[in-house]
Amino acid sequence: MNNEFLGSGVALVTPFDASMQVDFDALKRLVEFQVDNGTDFLVVQGTTGESPTLSMTEKQAVLATVLEVNDGRLSVVYGLGGNNTANIAELLEAGLDEVDGILSVTPYYNKPTQQGLLAHYRILADSTDLPIILYNVPGRTGTNLSAETTLELSEINNIVAVKEASGNMEQIMQIIKHRPEGFGVLSGDDNLTLPLIAAGADGVISVVANAFPALFSSMVHNALEGKFELARKAHYALFEITKMLFEQGNPGGVKSALAHLEIMEDFMRLPLYPISEELKQRIEKEVDRILG
């Protein structure tokens, strides 16, 4: 099974209203904004979507809304990971036929060994026919999915790609160099997307592209086509705003940018906390500069 998730993927935020309920109208606007501005595929209920704070009923409603609005125009990947292997396998076995793939983060907090990670993902792969994208983000999970483990998992038919957010360029290049044909490598760090594509990666699952889908997509596609002068121009146009958007955590920064663009309000559920007024003003000024 070859990786079909290429180019500029977006990890969608989950909009909330002032009562901290999911704002489905804003979610619909966000999906249309992505479809209309060059995004290649959508990721629903990743960490950027504040998935730990949503109930299962809310997650299902968010996914149903995205699928309805998208109406088959873009591929949709659903975030489904955790630190209870049996529970995730059970959810996969229950069926998610309406989505095109699964993004599954490495188990967090309980810090499994590499052998534990291999066993975990083998069980998940056996529990579904859907393509699975591995997600390595040791800064959040406390465990690094090594290049060797990723490459061993890449031999499993329906494990089709890895979203790499370790920030370890040598590790990621080792995966790119030794991966089997058809296995995808996607950047999980927005500001490393261009250098990783230059090294052979296939695209990104982006946070920043929530607010700048057209510019980010142009950067990704120009890089994939070898048009690096154009890609660098977009990369450096987004370089400072990317740092700002993560300065006080994710997705506070990008929600602030989206609020400035009048797509949604910038509410988040605790324990995430609103960004400072000073940072918000800097973000708004930079958004106006980029899009003005």
Active site residues: 135, 163
- Helical (H) or strand (E) element with 77: strand 75-79
**Got the DSSP string for 227-271?**
-HHHHHHHHHHHHHHHHHHHTT-TTHHHHHHHHHTTSS-----TT
**What does the DSSP 8-state code read for residue 16?**
B
* Residue 64: closest CA among 39, 29, 99: 99
Alpha helix stretches (DSSP H) within the chain: 24-35, 56-70, 85-94, 114-126, 138-141, 147-153, 169-178, 193-198, 213-224, 228-246, 252-260, 277-291
Exposed, middle or buried, 4 (CB in 10 Å: 0-12/13-18/19+)? Answer: middle
The one-letter code for the residue type at 291 is L
